[in-house]
Amino acid sequence: MKAIKILLVDDDIKNSMLLKRFIESEGYEVTYANNGRVGLEMYREIRPDLILLDINMPELDGFEMARIIRQNDKRVIIFFLTDRTDKVDRLHGFSLKGNDYIPKPFYPEELIAKINERFESMTVNQDVEYQLGDTIFRPNLSSLTYRGETHSLSVRQTEILQMLADNLGNTVERDVILDRIWGDSSYSNSLALNVQITYIRRMLTDPSVSIASIKKRGYILSVK
């Protein structure tokens, strides 16, 4: 099986080398860059499956690096690893279509668990396809196709939409979505969920498909 490629971008060289060895011991292929400019060059060279991205870095910060990458690549998974934990920063990270936002310090085992879960869920979803009205939703490609027009979803948006599609016509509780995808139902994560639902709605251009909000409960995906 082809090794999963991870790009670690962080200017803390000492701790990054420890983290790199820890991740490699789990069977992943890890490339390291010590700032955003080098990280962007390495991204273009190796085309990783996952980027572990610090925010405060010289030459090019993590937010700007993510913004540049997301202009053309909606596929690669981006985890922000940072000590910037304010709500504004977290929401900005998710607005750049980051897939996770992990505050420092963290346990390496926690990060590995998140990485393993992410790629295991992608493997499970490999052959699943949903017909929603005239829209085709392919989780393995993170795509929505309607009348020849395709929109790309982030991995997090894909996971949310798949939860709704698996429960078509039924309410999916907010706390269930938050616990499964973010790991907890904190206020900041709840705001991030609102943002992701807004993005998904914009990409569901089929007028027969809609996501309704049920006040203080959750969401319903419906097809007329």
Identify the structural domains of the chain with CATH numbers, from first to last. 5-123 (3.40.50.2300), 127-223 (1.10.10.10)
Q: Kindly compute the dihedral angle of the four CA atoms of residues 81, 115, 87, 82, in this order, to the nearest 10 degrees.
A: -10
- Would strands 218-223 and 171-173 be described as parallel, antiparallel, or unpaired? antiparallel
Is residue 2 very low, low, confident or very high in pLDDT (cuts 50, 70, 90)? low
Residue 202, classified by CB atoms within 10 Å of its CB into exposed (0-12), middle (13-18) or buried (19+), is exposed
118, 75 Cβ separation under 8 angstroms: no
Least confidently predicted of 33-47, 48-62, 176-190? 176-190
Percent of the chain with pLDDT over 70: 96
Q: What is the pTM of this model?
A: 0.59
Is the confidence at residue 41, as pLDDT, over 50?
yes
Least confidently predicted of 16-30, 68-82, 160-174, 181-195? 181-195
